[in-house]
Amino acid sequence: MLKQNKKDKQDRHRWLLIGFLCLFGVCLVAQVRPTEQKTKATGTSTKSVADTSKTTKKQPENKKTKVYLLHADEGQADKLARPDVQVLIGNVKMRHDSMYMYCDSALIFEKTNSVEAFSNVRMEQGDTLFIYGDYLYYDGMTQIAQLRENVKMINRNTTLLTDSLNYDRLYDLGYYFEGGTLMDEENVLTSDWGEYSPATKQSVFNHDVKLVNPKFVLTSDTLRYNTENKIAVILGPSNIVSDNNHIYSERGFYNMTEQAELLDRSILTNQGKKLVGDSLFYDRLSGYGEAFDNVKMTDTINKNMLTGDYCFYNELTDSAFATKRAVAIDYSQGDSLFMHGDTLQMVSYNLNTDSLYRLMKAYHKVRMYRTDVQGVCDSLVYNSKDSCMTMYVDPILWNEGQQLLGEQIKIYMNDSTIDWAHIINQALTVEMKDSIHYNQVSGKEMKAYFENGDMRHIEVIGNVLTAFYPEEKDSTMTGFNCLEGSLLHLYMKDKKMEKGLFVGKSNGTMYPMDQIPPDKLRLPTFSWFDYVRPLNKEDIFNWRGKREGEMLKPTTDRRPKTNKRNLINMK
């Protein structure tokens, strides 16, 4: 009986203890629930503040929301060994904000709000961004995804391929660092390092950058490219190579519609021609290029050069013109010829035929210099068809001590050297002996023949007048010979008049040196224009016209007809 009472007393104590424990649990729950509600309320308030601050700060908002498991065929957890880790196997589907993640298996780390995903990894954000890979580590706190092996990012028409990609969801920016490829509708870009923003469509590439387009290949050290507007920004040494031309630039813009704006002494090379300038504009579709400031266009095939502060080149018509201190330089004969005019123009005819020829035009205030030949005129045209250079309006040529002038001068070339020259109307040649004595010959026209660049024979035709000083072998002048006739042959030696021979009837007088009449010292048309003669290659920019009253009055208008509209259209 005593034992039974003792047992009943123990049972009552046990039930009393259980009752206290239940009451304690109820109180604990009552305390926890208000705390959760307070936290939720606080969270709402925090979100409101965050939304307000978002409008004032440019930094993206990190909401630090939880990574949710939406589905898995099988789930495992070991609360003793790894209490914060969920092991998920088979058709795993997770979500973090608007980003959905899929894989074959995964680990969810609850404390760090992070995920490791394995095999057939896929990330989807809306219907515009898809990322694939073999492995993913996703940090829900920083919202940075690290994908490895066989990674593919697809954003509308843009695809990025790599083996190592980090994607920052806050900044909507993916970048690779072990080599990658970016592709859009027509371009394929590869580099060692690169980044791409699905939001702005802007990409940046560094180290061994290569852009392959069906029409050209661009290689660079640093490049920015926008997949939406198709503009590439060149930020380092770059080469753009196509079938017809080559561009080198270290800074500029290249539009995939085939327009380029290039800076910092960029170079455009096309079929043996090289165009350089402080800045270049090139339109591949329209087939023309413009160069600005310190321009140099070099033709390595024909060994000539065009310089100035502005140059226009049309590759479709193989035509060009230059202005602003424009200079044409011919260096085919070793000793360079420099020619300046207000405008220099080159026009090509009969392209893509065996009858191709070019016109080189210079106007106005044309001046040229080479150590053995100098010249001035108002305008000039060189025609490669007959290798003839024609000087218009008060042309003058100097060859050492010889001066040739007339209304028009035609110079016929042979392999870039003077073969012969034709002086038309009011022709005059003067050779300076000293400051007082000059050998002079005038006529209606003259033909001067050259050998190895030296004048050897002059044929004077029509109304010939001469004032000539014969010499002994020691260069002593023996008299003064005044003659006139209809046809004269003059022969030169060592760049001096050696002898003259009239054909047909001639008459004249030979005066001793001390009996020369003052009015016979100069022919009626005598002029010595040494003061307008270019002194060196820099002096070609300093125009010095003839003095008043010394300009020839032309008997015919032989000036070239230049149409300004044709200049613009390069016809």
Query: Per-residue pLDDT tens for 516-527?
Result: 999 999 999 999
Cβ atoms of 326 and 306 within 8 Å: the answer is: yes
Name the residue among 471, 470, 468, 465 with its Cα closest to residue 484.
465
The residues, ordered by sequence, that sit 6+ positions from 483 with a Cβ below 8 Å of its Cβ are: 464, 465, 466, 468, 500, 502, 506, 507, 508
Query: What residues form DSSP beta bridges with 158?
Result: 155
Q: How far is CA 26 from CA 14, 20, 433, 448, in A?
A: 19, 10, 131, 126
pLDDT of residue 558: 53
How many Å apart are CA 274 and CA 291, to the nearest integer? 11
pLDDT tens track for 268-291: 888 888 889 999 998 988 888 899
Cis? peptide before 364, omega within 30° of 0: yes
- Cβ-contact 445, 463 below 8 angstroms: no
Helix ranges restricted to H, 81-171 = none
| Amino acid 265: pLDDT | 92
Residue ranges in the chain whose pLDDT is less than 70: 1-63, 416, 556-571
Calculate the alpha carbon distances from 500 to 484, 488, 503, 535 in Å. 12, 7, 10, 30
CB distance 341 to 363 below 8 Å: yes
Q: What sign has the CA pseudo-torsion 443, 365, 560, 358? A: positive
User: Residue 253 forms beta bridges with which residues?
Assistant: 233, 261
496-502 and 251-255: which strand pairing?
unpaired
Q: Is 178 helix (H, G, I), strand (E, B) or coil?
A: coil
> Can you read off the two tokens belonging to residue 279?
């800045």
Residues 6+ apart with CB under 8 A from 248: 237, 238, 239, 240, 266, 267, 269
Q: What is the pLDDT of residues 290-343, one digit of tens each?
A: 999 999 988 888 788 888 999 898 888 888 889 989 999 988 777 888 999 999
SS3 at position 24: helix
Q: Are 188 and 211 in contact (CB under 8 A)?
A: yes
CA of residue 303 relative to chain centroid, distance? 22
Q: Is 272 left (phi over 0), alpha (psi -120 to 50) or beta?
A: left
Q: Which residues contact 453 (CB under 8 A, 6 or more apart)?
A: 333, 372, 373, 417, 418
How confident is the model at residue 21, as a pLDDT?
A: 39
**What is the CA 22 to chain-centroid distance, rounded?**
84
pLDDT for the residue numbered 33 = 37
